[in-house]
């Protein structure tokens, strides 16, 4: 079974990306800053979609007490997340630095809407660090325990 990213997370990523694309089309420092954020996010989001977020799709089933051995397929993803988490958090630091440059550019041109976009993206990064990544890792730990695997 292949696990997709929870729809709520996928839709939020898509909405933020669409706003960022619009910002990148702005002239001058705003467009340049938004373009840099997009460049940094491209590789990072690919990692999230490949292994960091799909284990979250199991949460509704696990909360209901449902379990099957096929869920063990997420262990490879959660092990990779655990191994790559320090690098992903470092990527967040670079992304947030670029988002702060976007905030500065937006303020310079009195673009409150684009400063708010940057703040939404910063908030989303914190949400991933504080909630989504740890939840994904816990899914892996729980599945391993249910399968009787030592970790």
What does pLDDT average to in each consecutive run of 10 residues of the chain (151 residues)? 84 95 96 97 94 96 95 96 98 98 96 97 97 98 93 64
CA distances for 6 relative to 27, 83, 92, 146, angstroms: 35, 22, 21, 22
Tokens linked to 5: 């990213």
Instruction: Say how many Å lie between the first and final Cα of the chain, rounded.
Output: 23
Q: What's the pLDDT score for residue 54?
A: 97
Q: Is the pTM value of this prediction over 0.75?
A: yes
Q: What's the pLDDT score for residue 2?
A: 67
Q: At a CB cut-off of 8 Å and minimum separation 6, what does 65 contact?
A: none
φ, ψ for residue 34, nearest 5 deg:
-65, -40
Q: What's the pLDDT score for residue 151?
A: 64
Rounded distance between C-alpha atoms, residue 78 and residue 100, angstroms: 30
Q: At a CB cut-off of 8 Å and minimum separation 6, what does 25 contact?
A: 31
């Amino acid at each position: 079974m292949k696990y997709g990213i929870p729809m709520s997370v996928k839709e939020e990523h898509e909405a933020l990306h669409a706003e960022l694309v619009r910002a990148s089309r702005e002239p001058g420092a705003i467009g340049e800053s938004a373009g840099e954020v997009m460049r940094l996010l491209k590789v990072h989001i690919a990692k999230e979609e490949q292994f960091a977020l799909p284990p979250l799709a199991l949460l509704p089933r696990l909360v209901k007490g449902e379990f099957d051995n096929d869920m063990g397929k997420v262990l490879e993803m959660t092990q990779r997340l655990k191994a790559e988490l320090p690098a992903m958090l470092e990527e967040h630091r670079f992304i947030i630095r670029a988002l702060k440059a976007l905030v500065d550019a937006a303020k310079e041109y009195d673009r409150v809407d684009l400063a708010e976009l940057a703040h939404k993206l910063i908030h989303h990064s914190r949400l991933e660090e504080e909630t989504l990544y740890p939840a994904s890792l816990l899914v892996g730990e729980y599945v391993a325990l249910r399968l009787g695997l030592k970790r």
